């Protein structure tokens, strides 16, 4: 068992921030995390106190890096506060415990191809079905390529089924080299990924941010576009946060989706 105390870590917020789809809440204070072909239970004991059900060696080898525990998120939030941007300050105060996970690249590519024009609960359901034959393991490109398009359609993938078939074949044929991608700079990563069907600018940025930990990536989906239009009259100065734009994006995304669920919420006019 490993005890973690941090005012910049909240597993529930991370699980609901839209960056991962295999963290599930199994009780009011317990979550199950499936990542890197491993399974972990995390228990919350206080506002900032968590217990990881793993050895110290496993924590150091896998989970310390996976949860980006070496990064000082408190310093990032202090910089945001220094800008006096009221919306962003509200967002970081609300989503104080969000961190950018260091996820498996292949799993991130697949899950964010699935994510387009989809809601989070449906994405999670599809991924659960996709992984069912392999337990906690995510299907590798060769395993995924063995699915027929009809198999994938039966899981509810719709038009995304052909994208998964194509990207699996691209990896197996060497047209997409995952190891090379890991050593490529941000702009080239985006250009490379966008060559493949089913990967546009938003999905490419999600893969760069969540699968390659390029924290300068700033995915723009309907939620982020709405924030920029409603709160910043269409002109958000991203340069202020260019070194960690992806962290800011997560605070914004989580906050906006959360407040939109509140009764009597009304959008601000542009």
Q: Which residues are catalytic?
A: 202
What radius of gyration do the chain's Cα atoms show? Answer: 19
- Quote the distance between the C-alpha of residue 241 and its chain's center: 19
Given a contact cutoff of 8 angstroms between Cβ atoms, the answer to whether 4 and 49 are in contact is: yes
Q: Where are the alpha helices (DSSP H) in 83-133?
A: 86-94, 105-115, 120-131
d(CA 66, CA 40): 12
d(CA 124, CA 130): 10
In the sheet that holds 23-27, the strands lie side by side as 2-5, 49-52, 38-44, 30-35, 23-27
In b/e form, how buried is each residue of 69-97, taking b as 16+ CB within 10 angstroms? bebebeebbeebeeeebebbbebbebbbb
């Amino acid at each position: 068992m490993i005890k973690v105390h941090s005012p910049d870590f909240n597993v529930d917020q991370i699980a609901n921030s839209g960056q991962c789809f295999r963290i599930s809440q199994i009780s009011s204070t317990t979550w199950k995390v499936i990542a890197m072909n491993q399974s972990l239970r995390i228990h919350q004991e206080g506002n900032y106190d968590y217990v990881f059900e793993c050895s110290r060696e496993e924590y150091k080898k896998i989970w310390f890096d996976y949860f980006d525990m070496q990064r000082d998120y408190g310093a990032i939030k202090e910089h945001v506060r220094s800008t006096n941007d009221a919306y962003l300050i509200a967002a970081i105060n609300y989503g104080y415990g969000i961190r950018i996970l260091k996820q498996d690249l292949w799993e991130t590519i697949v899950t964010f191809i699935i994510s387009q024009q989809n809601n989070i609960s449906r994405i999670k359901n599809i991924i659960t079905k996709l992984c069912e034959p392999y337990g906690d393991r995510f299907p590798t490109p060769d395993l995924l390529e063995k699915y027929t398009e009809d198999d994938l359609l039966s899981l509810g993938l719709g038009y995304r089924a052909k994208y998964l078939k194509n990207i699996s074949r691209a990896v197996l044929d060497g047209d997409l080299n995952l190891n090379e991608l890991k050593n490529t700079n941000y702009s080239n990563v985006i250009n490379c990924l966008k060559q493949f069907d089913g990967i546009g600018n938003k999905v490419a940025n999600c893969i760069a941010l969540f699968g390659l930990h390029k924290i300068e990536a700033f995915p723009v989906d309907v939620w982020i576009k709405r924030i920029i239009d409603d709160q910043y009259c269409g002109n958000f100065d991203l340069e202020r946060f260019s070194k960690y734009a992806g962290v800011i994006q997560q605070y914004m995304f989580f906050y906006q989706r959360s407040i939109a669920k509140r009764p009597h919420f009304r959008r601000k006019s542009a």
